[in-house]
Structure 1
Amino acid sequence: MAKKGDKTNAVRMIERQKIAYELLHYEIQDAESVDGISVSEKIGYSVEYVYKTLVATSSTNQYYVFVVPVAEELDLKKAAKVVGQKKVEMIPVKELLNITGYVRGGCSPIGMKKLFPTYLDASAESLEFMIVSAGKIGLQLKLSPQDLAKAANAEFVDIV
């Protein structure tokens, strides 16, 4: 059960769905240390388990959420193919809060303002657990990939 200060939209949603999870806290020294590799070091887990949440858009102004390993890059061509678009591009960071309700470094694939089509990289599917942002900087969620897919209404695809 999360403490009061840890009750983000993401945490509320997984609790509502009765999904098993663990919260991981880390210290924030500066805004630059919110990249996924730094976060994995701070929480003491290998980068293979830590995933970042990226938001992209298409020419049709549809938004898409992609969850990929922190040490990897989203392949925009594969991502476009998966969503049936000619092209997708990352949204500007300054638009992230307005679109998702989350800030850079604290963007969770669960509990955004709207439910966008969400895709988890296929590399997560065989993991025992994965770690994603819990919806604010300094807080991560550890849960099974299948539970994350359920909570985010996501599917596993090859996108890196």
Structure 2
Amino acid sequence: MAKKRHPTGGTPATVALDRAGVAYAVRAYEHDPAAQSYGLEAAQALGVEPARVFKTLLVDTEQGLGVGIVPVDALLDLKAIAASLSMKKVTMADPKVAERTTGYVVGGISPVGQKKALPTVLDESATTFETILVSGGKRGLDIEIAPKDLLRVTGGRTASIARRG
């Protein structure tokens, strides 16, 4: 997969991927402000099965924030991510804190290029795909990337952290 730059000059995510020499493809779509689920909107707009499109969620570990990346058609299992982060308990991070910490807006939080490196866990289902899609750093922009490259650039690891609702 060749690197493709976004016509607007990129986001912190694409800049970070370019710096790291990671191959990715930009997948842009027209974001509908009325969409109830950013992730499912992306899957539908891009014609990709929802299991291959991943959302970035932040959790509060009481010792700082952590990142969980799960398919858009699944939920984040808080007990599972707590265990994978070696914590007893986590809660979902306050959206304003998540935005301030990552530098991205909710619905466009990318696991790549955040202001501060956070412990990151990618649901192991991602490894069944050659490439997955994650937010590119703004609503209406996804990045298609190999899971192994996403893990390398985020310093993340895999675990079973998704559950079907």
Q: TM-score range by the shorter chain?
A: over 0.9
Read off the aligned partner of 2:51 and give its amino acid letter: E
Aligned counterpart, 2:19: 16
Q: How does 1:32-111 map to 2 (within 5 A)?
A: 32-33=35-36, 35-60=38-63, 62-111=64-113
2:33 corresponds to which of 22, 30, 35? 30
Cα pair 1:34 1:137 within 8 Å, conserved: no
Cα pair 2:56 2:111 within 8 Å, conserved: yes
- The two structures, once aligned, show a CA RMSD in angstroms of 1.3
Cα pair 2:54 2:70 within 8 Å, conserved: yes
Question: Where does structure 1 differ by over 6 angstroms across 4 or more consecutive aligned residues?
Answer: none
Aligned counterpart, 1:126: 128
2:153 corresponds to which of 124, 128, 151? 151
Using the size of structure 1 for normalisation, the TM-score is 0.94
Distance 1:35 1:152, change over 3 A: same
Using the size of structure 2 for normalisation, the TM-score is 0.91
**Structure 2 unaligned spans of 5+:** none
**Structure 1 unaligned spans of 5+:** none
Moved more, 29-38 or 85-94: 29-38
Aligned length: 159
> Once the two structures are aligned, what percentage of the paired residues are identical?
35
